[in-house]
Amino acid sequence: MKLFEEFIIDGIHLKNRIVMAPMTRARAGEQRIPNDLMVEYYTQRASAGLIITEATTISEQANGWLHSPGIYTDEMAEGWRKVVDSVHKKNGNIFLQLWHCGRASHSSFHKGAPAVAPSAIKINGDYIHTPTGKQKYETPKALTLEEIEQTKLDYRNAAQRALDMGFDGIEIHSANGYLLDTFLQSKTNHREDAYGGSIESRYRMLDEVVRDVTSIWTANRVGVRLSPNGVFNDMGSEDYREQFTYVANQLNNYGLAYLHVMDGLGFGFHELGEPMTLSEFRKVYKNPIMGNTGYTQELAEKALQDNSADLIAFGRPFISNPDLVERFKSNFPLNPEADMSTWYTPAGKEGYIDFPSANIQ
């Protein structure tokens, strides 16, 4: 099966084409420092061809989720070094996903300073979990040009820390209604300067972030994640097809490690037209493509066989099956899906590192 074939990213030999998707698990504590619990969690899953870490914030201003890890202090970086070293000892490969929550945040995460976004447009949602409990979403502050420059520097500094800590590469989170996604989409970007007003200008922020981090990493060690069909965090734009086709076409020029496309509809669908498919992206993007969201082993194999994708990311199955690769290979039944109440538990191993392996010989 093609799913178990080796794949090479810039000299990195992925043992298979099964990727552990980035999944926020909220185990890093209030200080956002990766810990021994996280070391065990990622090491258990090192048989994946590639692990993409949970979303990791690039600055204090980027925070917007309780107990998620960061990469903007020396202590955070050293915590990640322990994870990386342990995964490498198991012959695993691991990329760090860089995250800025943007408007999907709250002032209580930033000592009273407002969340930021391309434009001052509030999420149409019920509430957000904050350090002070459930709160209503607030209207974010539109970033100034000077603040955009600082944000880009934060991405660059995070990329440098990831390189220093021994990661195999990085992924830029530009999906799911977080900062870079909101720059891309006309629903959330109403700017009239060089960062908005047209498909080309809305792409500029992502392009400049990619350019900055590829001054530190070679481009074929950098991935980008997109969610063209998603509604998460109140997203979905009328011109989504034109926007994301343009983005993919432009990113094609970099020679990235992969383009990570959330083509499945498990995060919801904006229903503004037909969903964008991997085969649609393949027409304009000639470098490696990673599919994600709702894939079974069978659907993943089909996508690889018809050349719609080169890699497939699995999320929920990896939560309750640390040995997912081995189970797939042996057609062994999967563990029951983890109780959703344990997905984001602030502390403890329950629903995190306590799932049984199949002990397949």
Q: What is the DSSP letter of 131?
A: T
CA dihedral of 195, 201, 202, 205, whole degrees rounded to 10: -60
Backbone angles phi, psi at 307, to 5 degrees: 65, 25
SS3 of 283, please?
Answer: coil
Distance CA 63, CA 61 (A): 6
Write out the two tokens for 141: 């502050």
Residue 127 β-bridge partners:
none
Q: Which of 17, 38, 18, 42 is nearest to 29 (CA)?
A: 38
> Quick count: other Cβ atoms within 10 Å of Cβ 279?
14
Residue 295 is a catalytic residue: no
**Residue 133 CB-half CA count within 13 A:** 0
CB contact at 8 A, 230 and 270: yes
Residue 170 β-bridge partners:
96, 222
Q: Which of 246, 144, 234 is nearest to 202 (CA)?
A: 246
Q: Name the one residue in this structure whose structure tokens are 């903007």.
A: 72
Residue 181 CB burial class (10 angstroms; 0-12, 13-18, ≥19): buried
Distance CA 170, CA 293 (A): 20
Backbone angles phi, psi at 258, to 5 degrees: -170, 160
Which of the following is catalytic: 178, 195, 240, 352? 178
Q: What is the DSSP letter of 28?
A: S
Distance CA 82, CA 75 (A): 11
- The number of angstroms, rounded, from the C-alpha of 331 to the middle of its chain's C-alpha atoms is 28
Which residues carry out catalysis?
178
